[in-house]
Amino acid sequence: MSSETDQERCRNCDTELQGVFCHQCGQSSKVIRRPTREVLDDALGNVFHWDSRLIRTLRLLFFHPGRLSAEWVEGRRMRYVPPFRLYIIASFVLFLLVGLSTRQSTSDFEVLSASDGAIKSLQASIDKAKEAGDWLTGITLQAALQAIEDPGAYFRKIISNLPKAAFVFLPLFALLHRLANLRQKRFYIDYLVFSLNFHAFSYLLIAIVLLAGLVSSVVGEFLELFYVLIPVYGIVAFRNFSQQGWGKSILKGFLVFGAYATVLSFGIAFFLAAVLFL
C-alpha cells in the first residue's frame, strides 16, 4: 500500500516541496510500502514474462531466418527481446564456452617453450631494427618475442579480447548489407538490427557445437558440420528480410559474405598482432 504524509520538504535532499515530486532530485513525496508477497509476485511475473519473450525470440531467430529483424523494423517489438540485448546474451554464452573449451589448451601452452637459438635470433633482429631506426619493426618483433616467451599469456589475451574484436565487425557487416541494397528504402539502423540478430544466431549455433564438444568430443566434431548452416541461414535471412527473389538474395549473399570474409581475414590478422600490445 502507499501512504502520503503532510511533509513539506523532500526526504532525499531536504528541498522544499512544490508538488508530489521534488523539483530538485525528482523523488516522490509518497512513501510506498508493499507486502513482500506482492513484491515477489511482481518480480516473478516480470521474470516469467521476460522468459516468454526470450523463448518467442529464439524460436523466430532459429526457425524463421530474417523474420525477427523484419518484425523489429516493422514496429512489432514488445513481444521480443531487443536485438542488442539478444546479441549480448549470445556473445556472453559463446565466449563463456570458448573460455571453458580452451582452458585445457592454455594449460598445454604453458609447457611449450621456444629454443634458445630462436629467441637469440629474434633478439638480434630486434637489435638490428633499433639500430636502423625501424621502430615499428622493432616493436612488432619485441611483441612477438613476448608471445614466444609466454604463449599461454598470449593465448589468454586472445580469449579475453575476442568479444571486443567481434563487436567491431557488427557495423561493418551492416554496412556491406546496406551497400548491397542501396535501392531499398531502408535506414542503416535496420541493417544494424539484422546484423545483431544474424551474429546472435551464429554465436548461439557455435555455442551449441562447443557445448556438445565439452560433453563428447565425437559429438562435437560431428556437429561442426553445422557451421555450413551459417551462410545458408544468412542467404535465407537476406531473402526474408528484403522480400526479394532467390536469385537476388543468393547473389547478394555471396557478395556480402565474400566481402565480409575478406575483411574479416585481414581483421583477424590485425587482431592477432594487436593483442600482443594489449
**CA-to-CA distance for 261 and 231, rounded, in angstroms?**
11
Question: What pLDDT does 3 receive?
Answer: 44
Say if CB 173 and CB 260 are below 8 A apart: yes
**CA-to-CA distance for 25 and 140, rounded, in angstroms?**
53
Say if CB 210 and CB 104 are below 8 A apart: no
Question: What pLDDT does 103 receive?
Answer: 64
Say if CB 41 and CB 48 are below 8 A apart: no
Residue 4 has pLDDT above 50, yes or no: no
User: What number of other Cβ atoms are within 10 A of residue 118's Cβ?
Assistant: 12
- What is the average per-residue pLDDT within 98-124? 62
Residue 194 has pLDDT above 90, yes or no: yes
User: What number of other Cβ atoms are within 10 A of residue 230's Cβ?
Assistant: 15
pLDDT in tens, 170-193: 999 999 999 998 888 889 999 999
Residue 264 has pLDDT above 70, yes or no: yes
Residue 52 has pLDDT above 70, yes or no: yes
Q: What is the CA radius of gyration of the chain?
A: 26
Residue 118 has pLDDT above 90, yes or no: no
Q: What's the distance, CA 92 to chain centroid?
A: 7
Question: What pLDDT does 151 receive?
Answer: 65
pTM above 0.75, yes or no: no
**CA-to-CA distance for 96 and 48, rounded, in angstroms?**
24
How does residue 96 score in pLDDT terms, banded at 50, 70 and 90? confident
Tell me which of 38 and 86 has the higher pLDDT. Answer: 86
**CA-to-CA distance for 60 and 66, rounded, in angstroms?**
9
User: What number of other Cβ atoms are within 10 A of residue 266's Cβ?
Assistant: 9
How does the average pLDDT of the chain come out, rounded?
79
Render the burial of 127-154: b for 16+ CB within 10 Å, e for the rest: eebeeeeeeeebebbbbbbebbebbeeb
- Pairing state between β 2-3 and 31-32: antiparallel
Q: Is 9 left (phi over 0), alpha (psi -120 to 50) or beta?
A: beta
